[in-house]
Amino acid sequence: MKTTMKTTINKFLFDGYLWCERKLAGLSPKQLVTSDGTFAYLEGGKGQTILLLHGFGANKDNWNKLAKYLTRDFHVIAIDLPGFGHSHHDPEASYGLADQLTRLLTFVQHKQLTNVMLAGNSYGGYLAANFAAQHPERIRTLLLLNPLGVASAKHSEVFNYIAAGGHNVLLPGNQEEYAFLLQKCFYKVPYLPDFAIEQLTREATSNPSLKEKIFFATHERSGDNLIFEGPLEQVLKTYPGPTVVCWGTEDKILHVDGGRVLKREVEHIKLVEFEKIGHLPMLEAPGTMAKEIYKAHHEAKKRT
């Protein structure tokens, strides 16, 4: 009984915390019901549309701190990708690259989004790059934050361990494992109150079989390697639009070498490295990340 009451109180406090974050960011929660299922998303601001795609195991609220710097001049949309957050979860569905891109296109079409700045972090960056390559007519500028999917990059310690069949730190099973994941995601883990840690752990450890299914639909294991259906160093050669890749140099989830590979392989890419930043620059350095978005926006305006 005490545990249930504590959980209820913590959820109430966490919901209030998110409400304040969203309010400060100028974002409101919304839903879009389609024939493919329901999309949960945050929306706010006016101006150039920027669509934000979160990473694996995360959700739309990963963008709140960054959005606070953007909604004055941008129309910001941050969605829960299918299988995560409050968007539709179907354990029987397929979550391969083509399926997720089809679902993303459904959202974009229903919202009538064109001339979009598309930004994605990690898994969201993998989807963003592949989406832009398939639908370049809809994308004005592509921004990738520590993106997944650079096949020829050095593996991080975390991914070497996963590829070799070790415990997947991206699929935590309890609070201790979630705390370990936070250590790997940040150069300096931000302070989180106890109620937030408990609720975030609860969300991170929910639907474990579905998350595992999505993980291995994205990363195929081949010997001691993880391979990708849409490797970015190939995919981005087919996307002609302006592309900015931002990478925290202290990323323990995806090696910073990924950004350097993309810069070497794809001529039109601009690479920005953030010193003393980890896997989630929009959370660890939102002001710095916002400056890069404004720069990309102004560069795009010069070209039109």
- The amino acid sitting at 72 is R
**pLDDT tens, 255-285?**
999 999 999 999 999 999 999 999 999 999 9
| Positions of the chain with pLDDT lower than 70, given as ranges | 1-3, 304
Question: Looking at the domain assignment, is residue 9 inside a domain?
Answer: no
Question: Looking at the domain assignment, is residue 238 inside a domain?
Answer: yes
Question: Looking at the domain assignment, is residue 242 inside a domain?
Answer: yes
At 177 the pLDDT is 95
pTM to 2 decimal places:
0.96
Tell me the torsion sign for CA atoms 119, 126, 253, 179: positive
Tell me the torsion sign for CA atoms 137, 138, 142, 146: negative
Q: Give ∠ CA 79-212-250 in degrees, rounded to 5.
A: 70
At 205 the pLDDT is 94
Residue-range definition of the domain harbouring residue 265: 25-154+230-303
At 126 the pLDDT is 98
Question: Looking at the domain assignment, is residue 175 inside a domain?
Answer: no
Tokens standing for 180? 């370990």
At 1 the pLDDT is 43
At 3 the pLDDT is 63
Question: Looking at the domain assignment, is residue 120 inside a domain?
Answer: yes
**pLDDT tens, 115-149?**
999 999 999 999 999 999 999 999 999 999 999 99
At 226 the pLDDT is 76
CATH number at residue 49: 3.40.50.1820
Q: How many folded domains does the chain comprise?
A: 1
